[in-house]
């Protein structure tokens, strides 16, 4: 049986905040369980503070659950077998300002274990797929927000992951950049890649995703399929508003 791309089972995440006298505890996720099948585009919606970023960090191994289990293709997210199959785009990708895109990608490619001809081919492919080739001569400091997002996506794609985890991939982008990223994600999904993305844009989630998870104060409020929101009066927006009220 093929394992889920992502599995959360009874996950809780509590943060400890040191204070002058004792400590303060904040529970960001509570008894969270869901699965993302291989090859599915799943969206994550929620108000600020709902736990979306914590979920992303748990999937990518940047955080560990306080309780429960997180698995990526059957492995703990901190294991190399999981990391090799995941590409991550943070909401605000950062690259050294003085480097050119191919230089930045080559650096991250080497960190992923690529070298020689394989590294060169991966960099060329990632730049072509994300529309960076015409900007190869520019330095990162010259990049717009949209170009930085493209570079972040290229970095996430470098090692050929089976799961892309994208935190606000179209935030602040102009319509053309949004169209290009939407087309890229659709193409990756057609290749069988799983995509898990968070967004504040309900309309973009509707266009991109086949299923949406709605988080409310650290809990999963609704899991909605495309068929369900297309059949509902008011669509996904009404379902979301009713869930978070």
pLDDT in tens, 60-109: 999 999 999 999 999 999 999 999 999 999 988 899 999 999 999 999 99
What is the pTM assigned to this prediction? 0.91
pLDDT score of 180 more than 90: no
Q: CA-to-CA distance for 230 and 133, rounded, in angstroms?
A: 38
Read off the DSSP letter of residue 218: T
Q: What's domain 1-76+198-245's superfamily in CATH?
A: P-loop containing nucleotide triphosphate hydrolases (3.40.50.300)
Residues 6+ apart with CB under 8 A from 157: 87, 125, 126, 129, 130, 164, 188
171: confidence class by pLDDT, cuts 50, 70, 90:
confident
Confidence (pLDDT) at 112: 86
Q: CA-to-CA distance for 239 and 68, rounded, in angstroms?
A: 28
Q: CA-to-CA distance for 213 and 197, rounded, in angstroms?
A: 10
Percent of the chain whose pLDDT exceeds 90: 73
Q: Residues 161, 193: contact at Cβ < 8 Å?
A: yes
19: confidence class by pLDDT, cuts 50, 70, 90:
confident
Average pLDDT over the chain reads 92
Confidence (pLDDT) at 12: 98
The pairs formed by 222-229 with CB atoms below 8 angstroms and a separation of 24 or more are: 223/34
Q: Residues 23, 17: contact at Cβ < 8 Å?
A: yes
| Three-state helix/strand/coil letters over 155-196 | HHHCCCCCEEEEECCCCCCCHHHHHHHHHHHHHHHHCCCEEE
Q: Phi, psi (5° rounding) for residue 158? A: -50, -50
Query: Mean pLDDT across the stretch 232-245?
Result: 93
Confidence (pLDDT) at 78: 94
Beta bridge partners of 67: 12
Q: Is 153 helix (H, G, I), strand (E, B) or coil?
A: helix
DSSP output for 83-130: HTTEEEE-SS----TTS-HHHHHHHHHHHTT--HHHHHHHHHHHHHHT
List the chain domain ranges.
1-76+198-245
Q: Phi, psi (5° rounding) for residue 23? A: -150, 155
pLDDT score of 203 more than 80: yes
pLDDT score of 21 more than 80: no
Confidence (pLDDT) at 175: 86
Q: CA-to-CA distance for 151 and 105, rounded, in angstroms?
A: 8
pLDDT score of 18 more than 90: no
Q: CA-to-CA distance for 217 and 46, rounded, in angstroms?
A: 8
Q: CA-to-CA distance for 89 and 161, rounded, in angstroms?
A: 12
Q: Which of the residue ranges 3-7, 91-95, 190-194 would you say has the lowest mean pLDDT?
A: 91-95
């Amino acid at each position: 049986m093929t394992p889920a791309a992502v599995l959360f089972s009874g996950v809780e995440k509590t943060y400890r905040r040191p204070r002058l006298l004792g400590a303060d505890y904040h529970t960001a996720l509570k008894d969270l369980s869901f699965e993302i099948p291989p090859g599915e585009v799943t969206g994550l919606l929620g108000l600020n503070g709902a736990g979306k970023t914590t979920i992303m960090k748990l999937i990518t191994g940047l955080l560990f659950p306080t309780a429960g289990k997180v698995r990526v293709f059957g492995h703990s997210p901190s294991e190399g077998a999981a990391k090799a199959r995941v590409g991550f785009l943070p909401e605000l990708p950062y690259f050294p300002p003085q480097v050119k895109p191919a230089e930045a990608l080559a650096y991250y490619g080497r960190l992923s274990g690529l070298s020689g001809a394989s590294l060169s081919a991966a960099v060329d492919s990632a730049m072509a797929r994300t529309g960076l080739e015409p900007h190869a001569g520019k330095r990162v400091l010259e990049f717009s927000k949209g170009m930085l997002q493209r570079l972040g996506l290229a970095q996430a794609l470098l090692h050929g992951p089976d799961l892309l985890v994208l935190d606000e991939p179209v935030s602040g982008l102009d319509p053309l950049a949004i169209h290009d990223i939407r087309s890229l994600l659709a193409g990756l999904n057609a290749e069988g890649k799983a995509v898990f993305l968070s967004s504040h844009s309900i309309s973009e989630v509707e266009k991109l995703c086949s299923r949406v998870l709605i988080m409310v104060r650290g809990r999963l409020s609704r899991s909605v399929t495309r068929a369900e929101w297309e059949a509902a009066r008011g669509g996904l927006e009404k379902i979301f508003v009713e869930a978070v009220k």
